[in-house]
Amino acid sequence: MVYQVNTDAELKPGEPVLDWPTRKRVALGTARGLEYLHEHCNPKIIHRDVKAANVLLDEDFEAVVGDFGLAKLVDVRKTNVTTQVRGTMGHIAPEYLSTGKSSERTDVFGYGIMLLELVTGQRAIDFSRLEEEDDVLLLDHVRSLSNIMASLFVVFFWFVSCLCFACFISFVTLG
């Protein structure tokens, strides 16, 4: 498959960030792509490396999930298939690290980290944070901000991980 992407869309540190409607478009386009892989492909496709760098944008900032080098085809009848852990640190779900079992939920975790990057404008792993705190991972950094933020974060991840992408897309497009 060949897809026309926006080669001028590279975002650099210090430059203006995406406006909120554009961020929402990127988030929804990515969710739609993952929903297609998880719900409409037979066999299902688990991407295993969902992150901002693997989302291509066209000139209208419409998102297309790309880079399927780590993807796995999943036979829905086999639920306990273990694989060697692959992916990008900071985006890998803890249960995938501990069990070696990838699933739609591991893609959802990576998507959640990508959403945090999209909302905060920070990278999933940032060693410069070590100068001021102990948290290199964006996930840990957000958790440590405050108890209220941590609570919202837990609710957010629970919400995203419990819903299918179709439900999430419906919820976000209502607002």
Point out the least confidently predicted range of 9-13, 43-47, 58-62, 84-88. Answer: 9-13
8 A C-beta contact, residue 112 and residue 27 = no
Q: Whole-prediction pTM value?
A: 0.74
Tokens coding 163: 């819903």
107 is catalytic: no
Contacts of 143 by beta carbon, 8 Å cutoff, 6+ apart: 135, 149, 150, 153
Query: How far is C-alpha 64 from the geometric centre of its chain's CA atoms?
Result: 13
Domain ranges of the chain: 20-174
Instruction: Single out the residue of 86, 85, 70, 92 nearest to residue 137, CA to CA.
Output: 92
- What CATH code would you report for 20-174? 1.10.510.10
Q: Which of 19, 49, 60, 135 is catalytic?
A: 49
> Whole-angstrom Cα distance, residue 69 to residue 156?
29
Summarize pLDDT for 83-108 with one digit per residue, the tens.
678 888 888 888 888 888 888 888 98
Q: Is the predicted pLDDT of residue 126 greater than 80, yes or no?
A: yes
Cβ atoms of 160 and 168 within 8 Å: the answer is yes
